[in-house]
Structure 1
């Protein structure tokens, strides 16, 4: 067994990171989710493989907390509010009602089925609901990374719906986990069921309200600070943003709000406002997010002992299949009943892309470190097993399922692809699509004489109009004219 010490930690980290990159590159050729492979590298390097010993659930929880704050912030940073505005209410409904329904259905299955499937683990209602709550949210790291790697376009605004759901449903699952652990530990065991329900509902409302408010306020504060920083070294700007992310996470927790919701909303605010050196900040966070994701999955992979997973194969497969084929679809279809913009196939696809990943494993560590939760080792192992099952079955079929359902479409590339745009120009430039019904003069597409898919970009410089090419540099003062479907604006 190899102990990780101060003298060998840099070598261990270097080898594992290098292995992760090579394994991830090889796996992408076969459509394997990179994060699943990172998890596998950690398992191979652990006590059942190369012999690295790591058994601190508290440390893994801390690493996961930092990584998730960066992942959620980056997810918000790279999301255009114009994309999620049409799916705002469906996404929020999936992130709240969907999580509650998934927890209720899964918890009921665990309570009744585990009594005869694994009699030695006959959980009560609270323990059953705790396991269900741990696995109730979809994983933002998995969803974001798979969509970014796939370069897949989706109809019916399915991609922003799924990204919004995965980025905002962690708070609900986290609150359920904390509340249920408190009930199991005996906090308020003299209360009636009605009092417990009222207290839990109040806690949930306060956490969501303060989390959203904290994210909005501190997101705008981050924009204000970055735009007024005025330093010559542009690489100090991302450092300032990181400090603002951690400040947002911590301060929101202090005031009683949900920190995960706060950093995601802060990312949305920062990503949709004019920001100094935006390109540097976005590029930095893109790479930094991959780094923390790799470290998080390696850490979680080291934490598990693969031979212990053999004891949870049967209940793990039964529970995993139930979540994928029953609990998740039922929760999605019921949650989306009021929203008519999704077809039956669209709802099926949303149901299928309910990926489990690092978040359920991190939430399972809360049960491990809690002294009042019995059989916490079994809970951790079954959550880990279902995560692997989900990434194997669902993560590898994200693209093929979209094509099979007829929901895939070509990815629309930016009109500014290959053009060298300065940071100040890029921060104020936007792309618009204009249709005939938006024309003030009432002219039609045919009258204008342009094809329906016309998209042109023009720049006014020195009172002359030019069409930018790959080597065109844009400066402040240039005026961009967009032609999309209809006519020059």
Structure 2
């Protein structure tokens, strides 16, 4: 039934409004927000209360790709390049070899279970073979759990980088089903190399060009985010047209811009987050409308079996094999395996065979949709619980709540930013070095700008005691932020999680190991005079260390508490019961 423009806009607004309002309920019960948008779309569809008959896979495919480009752009902007130090190669291993292994195992199992040709099974395996960026970014950042940098970085980079491999496999297998030509391994490898090379190189170059434009061309406040979106979408489609991976390129554009120093960073981030949420909501609502829920029951038990095989067999095997060369603890590997979330990407990929008009395409789409539902319900709703069960949760580091860039420079010591900190403990005093600092042309130490209490500015002197809820505005170099944030955060001794995780005491990374051994009664065998606590951690855990890594040293436990680049600065010390 055709509807006019006003009716369409009204229905779209109502669906989006209901989805957003329902999201508050899902937060309380621990369900993924994306599941709400998908569910509202299904309820509004032809089998639901809305009775809307939507059957346009081409439109859904277009909207899905558009939304995924925006989501990847925003995800790249929120990923810190520091995570590449410990997560780049494991992520690339999972994004390439991991997708191939998942495709092969799920494909073989599905072909046997569904009694179809192996190539159809492999096509299904390729469709569900990649994790979903929208689901992973959303759940990791809204679950309330802080993961160590190695695990969180691996999951985020993998989800942003594995789409090219999955798309390449789906396109190749769909093409094979449409023609009688045999598979050429060399042609496949060549196309894969082309996709990654063009998408990777042009994505980085495009990000640097966009960063230069943002720094040098004055724009009205609200246009910066729109410029980034427009540039990202142009890069996405343009690189796709010349044979590269637009998904990889747009992620790298976001990564480059997000880690650059621009004055409008905070305002841009807020607008980009809103646009990314709109893209996710619209995409999942449309995909929910596209499916006919009653048709999912036709092959319901087979879809459940394939989802179970993917979650409990295929993904764990792929993760274990891909992470063998890297220094991951077993709880970390189990968690990475569990957070292999499927979302919009598999559903969009399942539209390839539908649009191509392949036989069994409806079967592939329905099974894919069911697999995604099960993944979001089972895995998505247990992200924080499994992290706590496996004991890989890390207490969040103190951080400012707002920042504004005033002076941009490649050298962090010459850049200057205005930060807002929330005071989290009563009785804290501002250090005299900050309080009595006189503003000058060159800021060498942190400068106090203002203290806000109960929405009113306060006069600050040496006797002023801060109260929980106060807001402090400081002028700082970016390199001083972590140290200043510690001043206004809740003291470690009053936080059970901090004390239980890091320990009762803090020592420097260069603390003498032999002195520690003497104080705590640890045998001195094999300890040299020059050995330090940081060297012990590096020797036992490898090169790529992150906050939260720990070792046992006699009757004490040493946990990395603060790092600067790849150097260990502060270590937590906790006495252990023998």
TM bracket, shorter-chain basis: 0.7 to 0.9
Structure 2 Cα separation of the partners of residues 160 and 148 of structure 1: 12
Cα separation, 1, equivalents of 2:237 and 2:71? 16
Match of 1:11 in 2: 10
Report matched runs for 1:172-321 at 5 Å: 172-186=165-179, 189-191=180-182, 193=183, 196-231=184-219, 233-321=220-308
Deviations 1:77-109 (A, max 9, x none): 011101232111001111111001000111111
Residue 101 (structure 1) aligns with: 101
CA distance in 1, matches of 2:150, 2:175: 38
Aligned with 1:135 (options 125, 128, 146): 128
**Cα distance, 1:204 vs structure 2:** 1.1
Once the two structures are superposed, residues 179-199 of structure 1 have per-residue CA deviations (whole angstroms, 9 ceiling, x without a partner) of: 11111110xx344x4xx1111
Matched, 1:386 2:371: yes
CA drift of 1:465 comes to 6.0
Relative to structure 1, the CA distance from residue 45 to residue 486 in structure 2 (aligned partners, 3 Å threshold; closer, same or farther) is: same
1:441 counterpart residue number: none
- Alignment partner, residue 376 of structure 1: 361
CA change 1:467–1:5 in 2 (3 A) is same
The number of residues matched between the two structures is: 446
Change (3 A) 1:322 1:458: farther
Name whichever of 132-141 and 237-246 sits farther off.
237-246
Gaps of 5+ in 1: 116-122, 432-454
The separation in 1 between residues aligned to 2:83 and 2:448, in whole angstroms, is 27
Are the aligned partners of 1:458 and 1:480 in contact in 2 as well (CA < 8 Å)? Answer: no
CA distance 1:223–1:388, change in 2 (3 Å) = same
| RMSD across aligned positions (CA) | 2.6
Give distance in 2, aligned partners of 1:465 and 1:221.
Answer: 32
What SS does the aligned partner of 1:424 have? strand
Are residues 4 and 298 of structure 1, via their aligned partners in 2, closer, same or farther at CA, if it must alter by over 3 Å?
farther
2:398 maps to: 413
* Pairwise CA distance, 1:171: 1.1
Cα offset for 1:426? 8.5
Higher relative contact order (CA 8 A, sep 6+): 1
TM-score, length basis structure 2: 0.73
- What SS does structure 2 have at the residue aligned with 1:406? coil
Identify if the C-alpha distance between structure 1 residues 34 and 427 changes in structure 2 by more than 3 Å, giving closer, same or farther: farther
Structure 2 partner of 1:348: 334
CA distance in 2 between partners of 1:335 and 1:479 (Å)? 35
Hey, which of these two has a bigger chunk of helix by percent? 1
Q: How does 1:44-63 map to 2 (within 5 A)?
A: 44-49=43-48, 50-63=50-63
Give the whole-Å Cα distance in 2 for the aligned partners of 1:10 and 1:44. 18
Q: List gaps (5 residues or longer) in structure 2.
A: 414-429, 452-469, 487-506, 510-568, 570-578
Q: 1:425 to 1:374 in 2, by over 3 A?
A: same
1:458–1:324: structure 2 CA closer, same or farther, 3 Å change rule?
A: farther
